[in-house]
Amino acid sequence: MKTTGVIFALILLCELAVGQDEVGVSILHRGHSPVVQLTGNARVDLVGLREITPSPELAAQVEGMPGPPHRSPWIAAGLSVVVPGAGEFYSESFWKAAGFFALDVAAWVFAYSYDKKGDRLTDTFQDFANHHWSVVKYADYALGNLAPSDGNYAGLIKPGTENRPPWERVNWNVLNRMERDISATASGQYYSHTLPPYNDQQYYELIGKYPQFNQGWDDAAPTFVYGDPLTPYFRSYSEMRGKANDYYTSASTFVTVAIVNHILSAADAAWSAASFNGAHATVGMQTIPAGDHLARVPVAKLSYSF
């Protein structure tokens, strides 16, 4: 429903322009929206309004008058789902538009920044591990100190591979079988994991997380008993990996902030569009009957709709 009322007129100016004592007031109807027109005659306007039949010319002018601007809540919400603040801008809530858009930009910038920090530190700690942790050293220690004597681990270290990187020298199937056998012994119960293939994400996580992998580091002591201090390389590597994970967690948090911002902006944009349609003021000129002719007067209009 929409109701449009004339809330302002320059009455004295209109009275002089029209030059009539009593012209009357026209209450015209466009559908369900009455248009109230002041005559410009102070005596008539202050006494009250009386309804008259409009002339065909005036009725045609009123029918052709544009209604107040309208904003679709659905369009506003859709715009803000794509770009936060766009729906508010469409609804002419400019400060809120700037706020939602700035928050979206900041969230994605921080998310990208922390993700890249995580990537760089991941490259750093993986390179550190490749140079200071050896699966051959780890396998040799386990075979010589913890593996069951009745186990068959032939081919654990591939012959003729001395010049290859450590991860290419070990038979992973034999290694994993030996790790499972050790975990079943009294002295090797802390062998809680089997080593994933080289370059797997879990490979880099486990070697800096569980004590069973301590003896693969370059600075490991000749012997190790569960509960002994871990090597400095182990601890440094673990700290780097933990910091990288913190960066990735921060990046994920800012992505979540951006997604929530899209949702909140869409809801606010729909509300802003509805509020925009609810009340709108305009100022302009309008034609009213003045005796045997029509006169134009300045008017201010306040519209409200649901």
Q: Which residue has the tokens 């609804």?
A: 91
Residue 304's identity, in one-letter code, is: Y
Backbone angles phi, psi at 220, to 5 degrees: -70, 145
How would you label 60-83 residue by residue, b for 16+ Cβ within 10 Å and e otherwise? ebbeeeeebeebbbebbbbbbbee
CA–CA separation, 78 and 266 (whole Å): 7
Chunked into runs of 10 residues, the chain (306 residues) has average pLDDT values of 38 37 39 46 44 53 60 92 94 93 97 97 96 96 93 91 93 96 93 94 95 96 93 96 96 97 94 79 65 68 52
Question: What's the pLDDT score for residue 137?
Answer: 96
Give the pLDDT score at 32.
42
pTM to 2 decimal places:
0.66
Q: Which of 283, 294, 306 is nearest to 62 (CA)?
A: 294
Whole-number pLDDT of residue 280: 54
CA atoms of 15 and 173, how far apart (whole Å):
103
Q: Which residues contact 262 (CB under 8 A, 6 or more apart)?
A: 80, 81, 84, 104
- Amino acid in the structure at residue 109: V
| Angstrom distance (rounded) from CA 37 to CA 142 | 98
